[in-house]
Amino acid sequence: MKKHLSIILLFCIMLLLAACDSNDEVLLLRLENGKTIETMKKSDFPATLTIHYYVNEKYKELAKNRTYTIRKTAGRYGPNYTIFEVKKVKDGYKIVDSPYENFTMPSVEHFGKEYLPSFTLAGLSGTIERKFDTYSELEDFQDAIDYYVDWLEIIDKGKK
C-alpha cells in the first residue's frame, strides 16, 4: 500500500512540474521605478523594444553619442560580460581597447556570436531601440547592464 501511495505521489509531483514548465510567460526587464514587473510571452519574440535609460552624471562623457557592444564569455560560475565602445572608422566599425580583437568589420552586427547587438547612448537619458530575437538575448542584455555596467541604469521599457 505504501509503495502504491508513493508512486501516486511521485506521479502527481511530475504532473505538477510538467504543468509549471508549460507556462508561456517570461520575465522581461525589471522596472527600476517601483512599478510592477511586466511579462511577455515567448511567442512575442522576435520583438523590438524601446528601453529608457539613465546615465549617472559623473559618467556623462560615456554617454555623448557613443555606441557600445557587450561581449559575453563563459565564466566559472556563469557568464561574464564586458562592455566595449564601438567606433566608426574608415573601413567600417572597430571595437575600442579590446584585448581580444583588433579588426574592423563592415557593420556592428558582424563582430561575432559572443557579442550582443550594439546600442548607442545619445545623452544622460534617452531611449535605446533594440531588436531581440529570443528571450535569452534580452536576458543577457539585462544581466550585463544590471551586474556589469554600474554607470548605466535601465529605468523603464516598452514594447514597440
The pTM of this model reads: 0.62
CA distance 12 to 35: 36
Q: Is the pLDDT of residue 153 over 70?
A: no
**Phi, psi angles (nearest 5°) of residue 150:** -75, -15
Whether 87 and 104 have beta carbons less than 8 Å apart is answered as no
pLDDT digits (tens, 9 = 90+) for 129-148: 778 788 777 777 777 777 77
Residue 17 reports pLDDT greater than 60: no
Residue 76's CB: how many other CB atoms inside 10 A?
5
Q: Tell me the CA distances in angstroms from 98 to 64, 73, 103, 147, one per residue in order.
A: 20, 14, 10, 20
